């Protein structure tokens, strides 16, 4: 099972690294260290997580729609890449 998880992690991470979209963090490197340690080195994006933003203040309907559109655009780009 570990081998399957390792292979799946590396496959998915490498697929994600092929994405080039403003609403998707850039993946700079996908690799493994000695032993069972895998890692993804990603672009740093300053700001809040969506959870933190939602907890800080109530989101109005326009913000919710805009965030939903950005998420949908990112997912569309990912699905288009396969």
Q: Going residue by residue through the chain (82 aa), what tens digit of pLDDT does each one get?
A: 688 988 899 888 988 898 999 999 999 999 888 877 899 999 999 999 999 999 999 999 999 999 999 999 999 999 898 7
- Note the pLDDT of residue 73: 96
- Note the pLDDT of residue 3: 85
- Note the pLDDT of residue 28: 93
> Tokens for 11?
């496959």
* Buried-exposed string 9-40: b where 16+ CB fall within 10 A, e elsewhere: eeeebeebbebebebbeebeebeeeeeeeeeb
Comparing CA positions, the residue from 62, 68, 4 lying closest to residue 36 is 4
């Amino acid at each position: 099972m570990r081998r399957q998880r390792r292979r799946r992690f590396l496959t998915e991470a490498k697929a994600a690294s092929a994405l080039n979209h403003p609403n998707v963090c850039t993946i700079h490197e996908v690799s493994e260290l000695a032993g069972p340690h895998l890692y993804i080195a990603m672009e740093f994006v300053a700001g809040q997580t969506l959870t933190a933003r939602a907890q800080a203040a109530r989101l109005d309907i326009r913000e919710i729609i805009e965030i939903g559109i950005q998420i949908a655009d990112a997912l569309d780009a990912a699905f288009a890449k396969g």
